[in-house]
């Protein structure tokens, strides 16, 4: 009985702790390091777009924050080119009632860092001042997003900052974790009637360079990512597509580097639909607590939302799928008259015309919380790649190179960190596949870009300069109202870092970019003959950089990869060693604490907050993430999916064995205790009967005792003799 009490106390203690530990998301499963930051924003002068008679007022803003031992200051300019001229935003309640949403579109920006003219900044600032931004420099990409999406009980004004290099890539196969792929078109059946065969001759390029999007957020996404605020959900989606669009518009879709191709091809958002509550309809993709298989969900979504009025329709959800899949999309074919992906032909499904120009993205990670912004960007860009006609990259040196050759590309079969050079671009294989589809189909459903105008701070074909937004009635010294150089001007300092205030090239030797030893780059100097800042030269190999690493060929490599060490970084699996600096040989998976150089400056104990085998390092010890265990327990109860249960058991073997033992041992203990108690009561009855005054002689006592000793179902059976 004492053991039973102890076991019950252990279980009660486990669940008491379960309720005491808040589910803080899964940042530590996705990031090696992140920092809590307070982003300061400031409103600039009220501005007006030039040469636009009916343009609405805009603002120039800036933001600044400190992280990673440096200060970030960015100047921002209004950016609305991602939206279609007749853009609509709707909210839908559980009964299908639609409401037109008026969205404040003044918070979307692009810009540069004050001290880095080669940087690019894409940012969104909501009505509360919360910032979501990406900052790309020549050596690193930084991300900022509101902390409330991942951490509980934190101010809405607080943000987290992390680098692309902080993203943890687990190397799982995409088909079982990151992405599922639906083939071009849909399998034939008696309900499927393919449209009449058309000519496969390619369609000439006509300047239609934007794929119009309809974005749909289900109630889970609206709750988990938008915080149940419609404006926040809409702004998140616009900001995400703006970042993904930058990847696509900077890609030249062509067969080879020596050939021409499709340039400046991207997306424009035509419509956003936000489900504010579960739909009161069985089988709807937005129904409450429905456990979907990802392929069935995409098919159902296609049946209800696929449309010829859009180039693509994309579902954003926040639910876990079997195998941890985060995305799924139909692949487009260059053959005309086919279904799936961009410009899809409708086919009959259950007597209804359905368009499979669809894909989906889930922002629910396999660890329970929303994925970080960077991973959501990669998943969405990957699924759009399928919709545009790219399969996964084949295993080859050309399209799946190793990390020392730039690493894998966006459409790689396995998950990528976003840190390697190639992680943010498309492979030659993808570019060839997508080029063929664009050539065949783009004019069928793409639209012309609407934001190529004088006044957007981007020097576009036909423009000499573009100084963006000016105060009403003000003129620029170098650039005219029609984006041409004024007399005697050869450049504009707004567009070019090596241009003076007098509109002339800065003298040779003028510093246009400061050195950054952590990124292993020297200062850059103007050459006196051009307005652009030349790329910076690398610092000398061996120069110390971040976290005890050193510079090699202009890049900061980790401590273990230094020339005098020649190893690879790793995490020691032994929990007592997990917070020590560990390295492994390049050709081995054996990870051990590094002690080969007794006088090296980097401390053997890793800094607090560094990732270790079971959680974080705190005072040199690996602190186990108890909340992850509790989070998964409640996720399993909530979802009750056999795959999630098996995955939980695999990832938490010790806890599983302990709980399984308790589950088996407690009922067994109670049963044994019950039998013992019954035997004890029976012995007492025997004694009482033996000495009962109702019995008259020894023979009868013996006969009764015999009868009591033979028990059947709890009843006495008296001997016959």
166 contacts: CB under 8 Å, gap ≥ 6: 31, 32, 33, 34
Which of 306-336 are b and which e, b meaning 16 or more Cβ less than 10 Å from the residue's Cβ?
bbeebbbbbbbbbbbbbbbbbbbbbbbbbeb
386 is in an annotated binding site: yes
Would residue 53 show up in a list of annotated catalytic residues for this protein?
A: no
Spatial neighbors of 692 by CB under 8 A, at least 6 apart, are none
- Per the structure block, which two tokens stand in for 214? 């309809």
362 forms beta bridges with: 317
Classify residue 165 by its DSSP letter.
G
Give the DSSP H/E element, type plus range, for residue 626: helix 626-639
DSSP helix/strand/coil, 236:
helix
DSSP 607: P
Q: Which residues contact 285 (CB under 8 A, 6 or more apart)?
A: 218, 292, 297, 300, 301, 304, 305, 315
Q: Using CA atoms, how far apart are residues 107 and 109, in angstroms rounded to an integer? A: 6
Quote the distance between the C-alpha of residue 655 and its chain's center.
29
Host H or E run for residue 448? none
Residues 627, 537: Cα–Cα separation, whole Å: 46
- HEC string of 457-520 equals CCCCCCCCCCCCCECCCCCCCCECCCCCECCCCCCCCCCCCCECCCCCECCCCCEEECCEHHHC
The label of the residue with tokens 């030893």 reads 517
What distances in angstroms separate CA 700 from CA 94, 124, 686, one per listed residue?
80, 97, 13
Which run of H or of E encompasses 215?
Answer: strand 210-217
Query: Would you state the torsion angle of the CA atoms of residues 105, 107, 110, 111, taken in this order, to the nearest 10 degrees?
Result: 150
The tokens of 486 are what?
Answer: 């004024």
Instruction: Quote the radius of gyration of the chain (alpha carbons, Å).
Output: 33
How many CB atoms neighbour CB 414 within 10 A? 18
The angle subtended at Cα 285 by Cα 284 and Cα 286, nearest 5°, is 85
Is-contact 28 48, C-beta < 8 A? Answer: no
Q: Is the dihedral angle over the CA atoms 253, 254, 255, 258 positive or is it negative? A: negative
Q: How far apart are CA 210 and CA 249, in angstroms?
A: 9
What SS3 state is found at 429? helix
CA-to-CA dists, residue 349 to 134, 169, 215, 341, 378, angstroms: 42, 39, 23, 17, 32
User: Hey, is 660 helix, strand or coil?
Assistant: helix
Annotation-wise, does 382 bind a ligand? Answer: yes
For residues 551 and 541, the answer to whether their CB atoms sit within 8 Å is yes
Q: Which of 182, 140, 144 is nearest to 160 (CA)?
A: 144
Query: Of 319, 365, 132, 307, which is closest to residue 217 (Cα–Cα)?
Result: 319
Q: Which residue has the tokens 């080879």?
A: 256
CA distance 556 to 546: 7
Structure tokens at 31: 């990031």
The CB-side HSE value for 618 (13 A sphere, CA atoms) comes to: 6
Which residue in this structure is represented by tokens 């080969």? 596
Of the residues 28, 182, 305, 383, which is catalytic?
A: 383
d(CA 235, CA 124): 8
Q: Active-site residues: which are they? A: 383
Numbered residues of the known binding site for Zn(2+): 382, 386, 392
């Amino acid at each position: 009985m004492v053991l039973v009490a102890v076991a019950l106390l252990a279980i009660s203690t486990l669940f008491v702790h379960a309720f005491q530990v808040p589910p803080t998301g899964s940042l530590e499963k996705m990031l090696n390091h992140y920092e809590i930051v307070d982003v300061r924003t400031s409103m600039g002068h009220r501005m007006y777009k030039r040469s636009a008679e009916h343009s609405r007022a805009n603002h120039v803003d800036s933001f600044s924050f400190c992280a990673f031992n440096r200060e970030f200051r960015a100047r921002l300019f209004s950016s609305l080119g991602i939206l279609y001229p007749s853009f609509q935003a709707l909210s839908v309640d559980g009964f299908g009632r639609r409401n037109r949403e008026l969205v404040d579109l003044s918070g979307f920006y692009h810009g540069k860092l004050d001290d880095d003219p080669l940087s690019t900044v894409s940012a969104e600032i909501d009505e509360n001042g919360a910032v979501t931004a990406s900052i790309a420099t020549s050596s690193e990409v930084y991300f900022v997003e509101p902390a409330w999406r991942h951490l509980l009980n934190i101010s809405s004004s607080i943000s987290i900052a992390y680098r692309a290099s902080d993203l943890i890539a687990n190397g799982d196969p995409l088909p079982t974790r990151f992405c599922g792929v639906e083939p071009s078109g849909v399998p034939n059946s008696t309900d499927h009637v393919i449209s009449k065969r058309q000519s496969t001759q390619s369609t000439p390029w006509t300047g239609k360079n934007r794929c119009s999007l309809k974005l749909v957020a289900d109630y889970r996404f609206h709750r988990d990512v938008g915080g149940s605020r419609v404006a926040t959900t809409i702004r998140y989606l616009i900001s995400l597509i703006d970042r993904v669009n930058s990847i696509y518009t900077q890609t030249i879709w062509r067969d080879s580097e020596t050939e021409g191709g499709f340039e400046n091809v991207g997306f424009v958002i035509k419509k956003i639909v936000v489900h504010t509550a579960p739909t009161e309809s069985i089988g709807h993709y937005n129904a409450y607590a429905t456990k979907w298989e990802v392929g069935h969900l995409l098919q159902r979504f296609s049946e209800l939302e696929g449309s010829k009025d859009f180039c693509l329709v994309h579902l954003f959800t926040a639910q876990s799928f079997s195998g941890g899949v985060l995305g799924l999309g139909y692949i487009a074919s260059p053959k005309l008259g086919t279904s799936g992906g961009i410009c899809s032909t409708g086919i009959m499904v259950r007597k209804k015309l359905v368009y499979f120009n669809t894909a989906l993205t889930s922002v629910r990670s396999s660890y329970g919380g929303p994925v970080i912004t960077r991973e959501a960007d990669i998943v969405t860009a990957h699924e759009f790649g399928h919709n545009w006609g790219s399969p996964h990259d084949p295993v080859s040196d050309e399209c799946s190179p190793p990390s020392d050759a730039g690493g894998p590309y966006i459409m790689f079969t396995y998950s990528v960190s976003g840190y390697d050079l190639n992680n943010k671009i498309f492979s030659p294989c993808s570019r060839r596949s997508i080029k063929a589809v664009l050539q065949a189909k783009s004019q069928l459903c793409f639209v012309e870009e609407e934001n190529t105008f004088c006044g957007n701070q981007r020097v576009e074909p036909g423009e000499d300069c573009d100084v963006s937004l000016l105060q009403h009635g003000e003129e620029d010294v170098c650039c005219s109202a029609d984006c041409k150089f004024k007399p005697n001007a050869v450049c504009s300092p707004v567009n070019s870092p090596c241009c003076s205030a007098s509109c002339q090239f800065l003298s040779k030797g003028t510093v246009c970019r400061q050195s950054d030893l952590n990124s292993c780059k020297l200062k850059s100097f103007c050459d006196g003959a051009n307005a652009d800042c030349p790329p910076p030269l690398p610092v000398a190999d061996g120069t110390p950089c971040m976290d005890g690493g050193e510079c090699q060929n202009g890049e900061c490599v980790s401590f273990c990869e230094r020339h005098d060490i020649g190893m690879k970084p790793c995490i020691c699996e032994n929990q007592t060693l997990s917070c020590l600096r560990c390295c492994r040989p390049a050709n081995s998976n054996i990870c051990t604490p590094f002690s080969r150089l007794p006088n090296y400056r980097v401390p053997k104990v890793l800094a607090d907050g560094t990732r270790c085998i079971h959680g974080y390092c705190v005072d040199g010890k690996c602190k186990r993430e108890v909340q992850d265990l509790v989070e998964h327990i409640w996720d399993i109860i909530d979802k009750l999916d056999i795959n999630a249960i098996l995955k939980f058991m695999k990832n938490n073997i010790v806890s599983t064995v302990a709980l399984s033992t308790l589950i088996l041992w407690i009922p067994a203990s109670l049963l044994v205790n019950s039998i013992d108690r019954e035997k004890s009561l029976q012995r007492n009855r025997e004694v009482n009967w033996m000495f009962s005054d109702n019995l008259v002689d020894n023979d009868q006592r013996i006969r009764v005792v015999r009868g009591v000793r033979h028990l059947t179902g709890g009843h006495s059976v008296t001997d016959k003799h």
